[in-house]
Structure 1
């Protein structure tokens, strides 16, 4: 039987503060450069604005500028695009992750809002986790601060194969980022992809990236050097993770959790 392989590209770059047009242009260049070379490109959190709390001014519906252009790029270059943006819906605002391909679209609203950055004062919290299938892999998509909460990411009965975190994670806490990405991969027996921005945002917070993709054993399959604007692509194997789960089935002894 032929192995199912997924090509994942991590795009680490500096986000232009609150400038959607400049960031959408950058995203188009990134996606265009990967045409024919990848299946998924993962962008940082709030990829068109940076981690801005001006939700009322910058929020959009899924039919407005950001998602309209992302859909165009996904269709034109036949690449799935993953990131998050400031979403507006029925008078509420969300830090909304998206996964958009030429044939499908999925959305997840960030559950854990970063109180130290007053995110909860300007955004509403999501209530549902997202797991979906793409090219033979089940994928769970989460956002930044969600990384600190392992119960929310718990992989019961191998319901997903790939866990993606899009982030604006400050340099001052990069050790935590690296440690928790490793932990989520090992405890959930899955691939973990974490993509973080670089540069200094409009709040003066410095970000140095450390984007990476890790396998279920905690081994780094690809990583991007600190403070480098760079794209790295790696192929991940469904056969590899299935074999490891069969050989070392710790998932059968995992605790169950009820989230309220």
Structure 2
């Protein structure tokens, strides 16, 4: 299948440690999307903000947020992605979920926990890179701090779309901008990053800078910084094939195994 897909990026503020209110506000934003889209992407920890207090917000995979996502995706016939705090087997995870209209759920647990904030002391790190197929696209989901580690994202599987969700603070936003573009270029893939805006409960400021890049590193969105916004971008499957066959850069990539 060579069909294009339309992705809605939701750049939003988050209510600190309040899943019910975040679900309400996000549903209102989702309901404003009047054009047809295939996939909606929400920020990291979209039910709570980037909290180190998981006891206050953690849910199971049978909890209210997963049920809410299933209801919306089924009603609107579009998939939704984002991360939330999940409790499982006596551990807490910063877990990316992708819920499809069919009810299929793909999960990815954040591999690189953010040691500067002590995330490694609170959340269990994931161990597996995850790829999934949706509407003919091979998608690689990653979370925030993963962006700083290119080996983990290296496109050895010929995936088509790399998606990062984040709570990336304004003070280091230049790194976010630079690395998102780099991941697109080095992997010859579409790369989308969705970051929040506003202040969190620790008074860290977030300026958004959500963005979408094509396989050559050209920015294809028009999102502004510091503002809540929804941007829909169209990703062209034919462009991936065209430039990979023309330039063949991935054919020269280094071979390695993660240990």
Flag whether TM exceeds 0.5 (same fold).
Answer: yes
Write the deviation string for residues 73-103 of structure 1: whole angstroms up to 9, x where unpaired: 1111111101000001010000000111111
Q: 1:157 to 1:120 in 2, by over 3 A?
A: closer
Residue 101 of structure 1 corresponds to 100
TM-score by length of 2: 0.97
Q: Which runs of 5 or more residues in structure 1 are unaligned?
A: none
Deviates further, 114-123 or 35-44: 35-44
Q: Is the 8 A contact 2:3 2:237 kept in 1?
A: yes
1:259 CA drift (Å):
1.2
Q: Which runs of 5 or more residues in structure 2 are unaligned?
A: none
Residue 149 of structure 1 corresponds to 149
How many positions carry a matched residue from both structures?
258
- 1: CA distance, partners of 2:243 / 2:196: 31
Write the deviation string for residues 214-234 of structure 1: whole angstroms up to 9, x where unpaired: 001010000411111000001
- 1: CA distance, partners of 2:157 / 2:50: 34
TM-score by length of 1: 0.97
Q: Is the 8 A contact 1:212 1:222 kept in 2?
A: yes
Q: Is the 8 A contact 2:18 2:57 kept in 1?
A: no
1:33 CA drift (Å):
1.9
Residue 86 of structure 2 corresponds to 87
Q: Is the 8 A contact 2:11 2:229 kept in 1?
A: yes
1:68 CA drift (Å):
1.0
Trace 1:9-48 onto structure 2 (pairs within 5 A).
9-48=8-47
CA RMSD between the two structures: 1.1
Q: Which 4+ residue blocks in structure 1 deviate beyond 4 angstroms?
A: none
Q: Is the 8 A contact 2:2 2:136 kept in 1?
A: no
Write the deviation string for residues 159-182 of structure 1: whole angstroms up to 9, x where unpaired: x10000000000000000000001
Residue 3 of structure 2 corresponds to 4
